[in-house]
Structure 1
Amino acid sequence: MIEVMVTGAYGRMGREAARTVWDADDMLLAGAVDGRGEGTDIGQLIECGSTGINIENDLEEFLKSKRPDVAVDFTGPQAVYHNALKYLEYGVRPVIGSTGLDAGQIKEIIDLSEKRGIGGLVAPNFAIGAVLMMRFAAEAARFLPDVEIIEMHHDQKIDAPSGTAIKTAEIILEQRGDEYKQGLASEIETLPGSRGGNFSGGIRIHSVRLPGLVAHQEVILGGLGQTLTIRHDSITRESFMPGVLLAVRRSLNLNKVVYGLDKLLFETV
């Protein structure tokens, strides 16, 4: 049995992850950590009755005493980087779904994990369809290199743009090259920011935050007399769970943290 802890267990994604681990035949829910809900039996949140597993609020104390195989982290931008370093310090494989890590922090996590031989995953998006959307967009950008990204999330998401949008722009740049410069150099914004954020090479990213949304993204590519739109929608948070299970299982056979679920889906590690 794979012993799995969930950090950020009180939140919506954390609850879904805890429920998924609890129901998995080859996993044991080893514990739940969150700054909120201390002392609450996780069973109350995942609707499975009493489990005897109460939410704890001290991550380091939990890691010292339990040392699970894998930590699934759905916290937030303020905590996830320091959490990742703690997992690696205690030999726990991190599976991180929280976004907000910058490129330097991701590199540091990967480098440290490689030194220690500890596998894991940092994934901007765990939905299989979202990973396919990014892959299809990168392929399409070979032929239609002018592209803009619109990402839409619930109004409780505090970081923008989303990790999925950044990852999408990164793989498009890998495919088409950063030397391609789309857009007008003389473009004027009468309302600053109205054209979205300029990621690199002219790729614009637009972020929408509204109640009623979960996680959605459109990649719009333009060419002579035509456009191509590639869109993915996560309607419920359950959509992320097959990817979480895949990452937990595969992390046991990795000797470093990898960035992006695509690395596991397409066997590039």
Structure 2
Amino acid sequence: MSLRIILAGATGWVGRALVPALAAAPDLDLVAAISRSHAGTDLGGALGGGPSGVPVFAGIADALAIPADVLIDYTKPDVVKANSLAALKAGLAVVIGTSGLGSADFAELDIVAREQGLGVLAAGNFSITATLMKRFTLEAAKYVADVELIDYASAKKPDAPSGTARELAETLSALRQPATSRPVADVMGVPATRGGAFGEGDREVRVHALRMPSFTLAVESIFGAPDERLTIRHDAGSSAAPYVAGTLLAARRVGGWTGVRRGLDTLLD
């Protein structure tokens, strides 16, 4: 039996790449789409093609009238949490590709998911190569004490840092070695230029977010040791294609646990 999917953000950048992949997957059935700008239309027509039989709704409440198993959300930071909570309470597992949620948000989602006996998979990046960047960074942190992140994105990206950088920083802060750099409290000048902090004390991870034209998405992990440096970097291209396979994998697997998991790397092994 196919898994029935509701896709929120179906006419967005990643959503448009997911629609044909879902249509081609024999074990996944796209039953409803959410797009405020195309509500009331057929999804195929909204994307410039022929009729697909997939209705487009303005919001999650209307879409949940269609029986489904999994919500895939690629919307915006100001709606993803409400979408996810509504889906969980309606009995759907959730795959979150939207950035902007923090640890407190995921803790709330985890409580509701466990109450409902459902799974949530949230990833800052569903690209396999971005997931490898995270894995290599976490491995390097076992051996090199000092690490900071640079987060690059387009000038109009609404959240900072990106979901990729936030997820990496929060995971990294839990296992990194104590930093040898001067504590930010002792910095003269403008301490805010030392970046945003994730974690606490000498194990916090500093993230510097750049928002400029010509960037799509990139995250750079910079490690420093006496007389040497290591840089681990992932750059995204202009296409959403790299995120498709990981998202479909998550949709297939999210029914296998209860509560929130963060990161595509939790599924790779």
Q: Once superposed, which parts of structure 1, at least 4 consecutive aligned residues long, lie more than 6 Å away?
A: none
Displacement of 1:46 after TM fit?
4.4
2:268 equivalent to 1:265: yes
The match for 2:196 is: 197
Shift of 1:47: 5.2
Is 1:139 the equivalent of 2:139? yes
Which structure 1 segments of 5+ residues have no match?
A: none
For 2:10, the aligned partner's letter is A
1:240 counterpart residue number: 243
Total equivalences in the alignment: 262
Percent of paired sites with the same residue? 35
When residues 10 and 62 of structure 1 are mapped into structure 2, their CA distance, relative to the original with a 3 A threshold, is same
Q: Which of 165-174 and 229-238 deviates more?
A: 165-174
When residues 209 and 40 of structure 1 are mapped into structure 2, their CA distance, relative to the original with a 3 A threshold, is farther
Match of residue 49 from structure 1: 50
For 1:231, the aligned partner's letter is R
**Farther off after superposition, 14-23 or 138-147:** 14-23
Q: With structure 1 as the length reference, what TM-score do the two structures score?
A: 0.90
Deviations along 1:183-238, whole A, 9 cap, x unmatched? 22332244x64332233335221112233332211101011110001011221211
Q: Is the 8 A contact 1:134 1:171 kept in 2?
A: no
Shift of 1:127: 1.0
**In the alignment, residue 196 of structure 1 is paired with which amino acid?**
G
Please, what TM-score do these two structures have when normalized by structure 2?
0.90
Matches of 2:14 and 2:120, distance apart in 1? 19
Matches for 1:1-269 after TM superposition, within 5 Å: 1-46=2-47, 48-63=49-64, 65-177=65-177, 180-185=178-183, 186-190=186-190, 193-200=192-199, 201-235=203-237, 236-266=239-269
Secondary structure of 1:31's partner?
A: strand
Residue 73 of structure 1, CA deviation: 0.3
Deviation at 1:2, TM superposition (A): 1.5
Equivalent-residue separation in structure 2 for 1:189 and 1:196 (angstroms): 13
Structure 2 distance, partners of 1:161, 1:182, is: 24
Match of 1:161, SS state, is coil
Amino acid at match of 2:167: K
